[in-house]
Amino acid sequence: MAEMKGRPGSAGQRPTGGDKAVATQKKQYFRRKKVCRFCVERIDDINYKDVKMLSSFVAERGKIVPRRISGVCAPHQRRLSDAIKKARNIALLPFAASA
Amino acid sequence: MRVYEELFIIKPDAPEEEADQFIEQMRSVVTTSGGTVDKVDKWGKRRLAYRVDKYREGAYVLVQFTSGPDVVKEFERRLRVSDLVIKFLTVRIDQTLKRLDKRKKNREKRAHRKPAPVAAAPAQLPGPPVGEPAAAE
């Protein structure tokens, strides 16, 4: 995805402290500021039945995508993870995908 | 009274009439104990995300009803006992609905208020571009 662009090598695995890291690092690269999709699109209802939407926040193996990658704000991530867990319970989403 | 949402999965190899009959039965469970069924939605057969009781697909049924908490107990007991149902999930949604309603109202209120500043803004905007050429000289 575009968020991961320009990251040198192994730095992609390490959690950097959000956007603060950009200014302190010597090597400069452009990183787009991430915004919460739910805030921007004004989605109030994060529903567990909306599989299409939820699956975009689930990684290939079925894990919930962390906030630092997806850019979702804390209140929305909370509701999102709740919804994903409900969806898993009723077999709409996998607990662990056998990929 | 609370609003609940019950989503359950019926075996894919169960005959359609039997499933309908079962749904009617569940409807009567709610109504006889003083609740009201607001919505019954059959999603049809879908693939399950993982295997449940050796089934790879199932027919999803969504029932939304308004009732007291004891109805849910009976409802769930029936689902558990039934041979047709392989999985179910109960969610209480009245608080969520209330929250969403409030947010929607707030948003509408704000939308009503907004037109005034938006109309005023374009009038101010042409200002800076006029001043800029003067500064460049």
- What is the CATH number for A65? 4.10.640.10
Q: Which domain holds residue B34?
A: 2-94
Tens digits of per-residue pLDDT, A16-44?
444 544 455 556 777 777 788 888 888 88
Q: Which domain holds residue A67?
A: 34-99
| Whether residue A68 is found in the same domain as residue A83 | yes
| Whether residue A52 is found in the same domain as residue A23 | no
| Whether residue A18 is found in the same domain as residue A47 | no
Tens digits of per-residue pLDDT, A60-79?
899 999 999 999 999 999 99
What ipTM was estimated for this complex? 0.72
Minimum CA–CA partner of A98 in chain B = B50
Tens digits of per-residue pLDDT, B6-62?
999 999 998 889 999 999 989 998 999 888 999 899 998 999 999 998 899 999 999
For A45, the closest of B89, B100, B107 (CB atoms) is B100
CA distances from B100 to A13, A40, A43, A56, A81 (A): 37, 17, 10, 23, 18
Position B76 in a domain: yes
Cα separation of A12 and A56, whole Å? 20
Minimum CA–CA partner of A85 in chain B = B89
Instruction: Say yes or no for a CB contact (<8 Å) between A90 and B52.
Output: no
Contact list in A for residue B12 (CB cut-off 8 A) is none
Please tell me chain B's helix, strand, coil percentages from 3-state DSSP, rounded to the nearest 5: 50, 35, 15
**Number of domains within chain B:** 1
Q: Are B29 and B74 in contact (CB under 8 A)?
A: yes
B93 close to A (CB below 8 A):
no
| Whether residue A43 is found in the same domain as residue A72 | yes
Position B126 in a domain: no
Looking up tokens 């006889």 gives B32
Instruction: Give bridge partners of residue B42 from the DSSP assignment.
Output: B61
